[in-house]
Structure 1
């Protein structure tokens, strides 16, 4: 699959068995079928929401292989292949290519707080080893480094396969800065503030919401492309309401925990999260209260989504 990536991609959860001992392939396939039925244009496996730090090498291979085989070219499959070790990141990137992935999403080496030159050499090694298109992932909160617009432009200019970036720096102006400096060498995907990012020139969206509201999360980008900005803001406003409910809790509650529980609420159980992340059951009454409040907003969102013809 060689066409340009565009649209709103789900950064997917990793379905586990109830005892957390293995990837649940049957749940994975049901979840992927749901994504296809809801017209999600692309999916990203083993991102942050996919708990990539909690899976074994064998589980990585199983998850990528089963996903690629089941999707069977119907939509692009991107795979997160980052690691704090350049050697491991290269090996995982080559493996994803060999298993049939359409692209990679790669965050900077985390923990070490690398310099720009160290980041450059990291991506130089990855691009030298395989030829899949790469989506940089700029998330200073988790990687401890912020990819400047200047560095992004340098990487995109020097390495032809570095052609996308998920921009999650929480600096909305960065979208425009990257486009101004990198030009046609890079395509920006919004990682947050989707409407504002679109208006600044982003051409796609990577989000965790597709794990439980895939029709709305994919549809919001189609509304934007159709020029229906205020309709898109209606969808985005409701997403922000339940997002705020999640964000009120302890940081480790996060989208991993709630994404999985809300996927189950939608009829697609995917197990829970692996330690050290807090599971939904461990939230007790507080979690159930938040779930009820989020559910009410999602029900409202479903109505709006239907009214807008999505």
Structure 2
């Protein structure tokens, strides 16, 4: 599976009554692909997987697959309680997804062998290639990732913990296992802020929530990053990403809430977030508008 460019994690639009808006989902995905996304990850973290019913996941993935029409890979979320994760994985397969991002199990944390069994159960049930997501209740050792990498159905590792030393060990263990097709992703919140370090340890790709609300800024960062234009990259970090992260860190869940607010500011009626997340206050939304304006002025 090949990715070229920014990894796009779309939001899940809700109507004024809180119902899924499948039509706006298609429009939102289409705008991201047209803006140059190298892969689309529907119904994942930014898409509020934690708050979606199974039928909603199926509808989101189907709308995404139909809109993308094979132009780039579509990797859908599957995680939480094992039964729900398996059902979501099968729904994504039936909707035509190219692969799965295996999110952490719900509430409980198991042993390393238990995590392996969790991933293997989703693999067996879906038959799809999977990327494992290292965060929360699913934190893998280097030995465990190397063990999972022996299965060709496991194609990648996404880091959401931020332990660069451990991630370096994981990269090396997989490389030593001769998996030159294995994919590594930086999945930290607002990954642009840490991607310079991740590139240095062999993790060239990253997810971009900012791309969902401000693709022109995210693309400018990516072009600078890809070309080694450090002056531009650092100017965008200082003028846009650093203040965005400061605002994001004020309230739990703002990694998602601010993205939806940014889209609403742009006139895209994606609705608010579902509980337990909360939307920004009017004052926070105004600060977000100022940050977005400052970011665009740098272009």
TM over 0.5, shorter chain: yes
Partner Cα separation in structure 2 for residue 46 and residue 56 of structure 1 = 10
The equivalences for 1:93-242 within 5 A come to 93-140=89-136, 143=137, 145-157=138-150, 159-183=151-175, 184-185=178-179, 186-192=182-188, 193-237=194-238, 238-242=240-244
Partner Cα separation in structure 1 for residue 87 and residue 22 of structure 2 = 24
Residue 302 of structure 1: SS of its match in structure 2? helix
- Give the alignment partner of residue 84 of structure 2, picking from 76, 85, 88: 88
Residue 41 of structure 2: SS of its match in structure 1? strand
Q: Structure 2 vs 1, CA of residues 224 and 175 (structure 1 numbering), >3 Å: closer, same or farther?
A: farther
- Give the alignment partner of residue 64 of structure 2, picking from 36, 52, 67: 67
Greater RCO (Cα-Cα under 8 Å, separation 6 or more): 1
Residue 32 of structure 1: CA displacement? 1.5
Partner Cα separation in structure 1 for residue 115 and residue 78 of structure 2 = 15
Question: Which stretch of the first structure deviates more once superposed, 233-242 or 98-107?
Answer: 233-242
Q: Structure 2 vs 1, CA of residues 266 and 81 (structure 1 numbering), >3 Å: closer, same or farther?
A: same
Residue 44 of structure 1: CA displacement? 0.8
In structure 1, the residue matched to 2:191 is: none
The equivalences for 1:286-305 within 5 A come to 287-304=281-298
Gaps of 5+ in 1: 281-286
The answer (yes or no) to whether the contact 1:195–1:229 under 8 Å persists in 2 is no
The answer (yes or no) to whether the contact 2:10–2:42 under 8 Å persists in 1 is yes
Is the counterpart of residue 57 in structure 1 residue 54 in structure 2?
A: yes
Gaps of 5+ in 2: 189-193
**How big is each residue's C-alpha offset from its partner over 1:151-178, in whole Å with a ceiling of 9 and x where there is no partner?**
1121112x11211111111212233221
Q: Structure 2 vs 1, CA of residues 205 and 294 (structure 1 numbering), >3 Å: closer, same or farther?
A: same
Residue 106 of structure 1: CA displacement? 0.8
TM value normalised by structure 1 = 0.86
Residue 117 of structure 1: CA displacement? 0.6
The answer (yes or no) to whether the contact 1:257–1:277 under 8 Å persists in 2 is yes
Residue 92 of structure 1: CA displacement? 1.9
Q: CA RMSD in A?
A: 1.9
User: Between Structure 1 and Structure 2, how many residues are aligned?
Assistant: 289
**How big is each residue's C-alpha offset from its partner over 1:8-44, in whole Å with a ceiling of 9 and x where there is no partner?**
2122211011110x21122212212221232122221
The answer (yes or no) to whether the contact 1:10–1:214 under 8 Å persists in 2 is no
Residue 288 of structure 1: CA displacement? 2.1
TM value normalised by structure 2 = 0.89
In structure 2, the residue matched to 1:14 is: 12
